[in-house]
Amino acid sequence: MAEIVVAEFMDEGVIAEVFAGRDVVYDPALIDKPEALLAAVADARALVVRNRTQVRGALLEAAAGLEVVGRLGVGLDNIDLDACKARGIAVRPATGANDLSVAEYVVTAAFVLLRGVYAATDHVAGGAWPRTQLMGREAAGKQMGLVGFGAIAREVATRARALGMTVAAFDPYVEASDPAWLDAERCELDALLASSHVISLHVPLTKETRHLINAGALGQMQPGACLINAARGGIVDEAALVAALKENRLSGAALDVFESEPVTAETGARFRDVPNLILTPHIAGVTAESNLRVSRLTAETVVAHLDGG
pLDDT tens string 54-93: 999 999 999 999 999 999 999 899 999 999 999 999 999 9
Fold category of 4-97+289-306 in CATH? Rossmann fold (3.40.50)
Where in the chain are the domains? 4-97+289-306, 99-279
* Rounded Cα–Cα distance for residues 227 and 253 (Å): 5
Rounded mean pLDDT, 175-189: 96
Domains 4-97+289-306 and 99-279 share a fold: yes
* Rounded Cα–Cα distance for residues 75 and 150 (Å): 13
Q: Is 96 within 8 Å of 73 (Cβ atoms)?
A: no
Which amino acid appears at position 223 of this protein?
A: P
The CA-atom distances, in angstroms, between 302 and each of 69, 85, 264 are 7, 16, 33
Q: Residue 56: left if φ>0, alpha if ψ -120 to 50, beta else—which one?
A: beta
pLDDT in tens, 252-293: 999 999 999 999 999 999 999 999 999 999 999 999 999 999
> Which of the residues are catalytic?
232, 261, 282
Question: Looking at residue 309, what is its pLDDT?
Answer: 64
What CATH number is given for 99-279 in this structure? 3.40.50.720
Q: Cβ contacts of residue 123 below 8 Å, gap of 6+?
A: 130
Provide the pLDDT confidence category of residue 243 given band limits of 50, 70 and 90.
very high
Question: Looking at residue 38, what is its pLDDT?
Answer: 96
Query: Which pTM value belongs to this model?
Result: 0.93
Q: Give percent of the chain above pLDDT 90.
A: 98
pLDDT in tens, 84-128: 999 999 999 999 999 999 999 999 999 999 999 998 999 999 999
Question: Looking at residue 176, what is its pLDDT?
Answer: 96
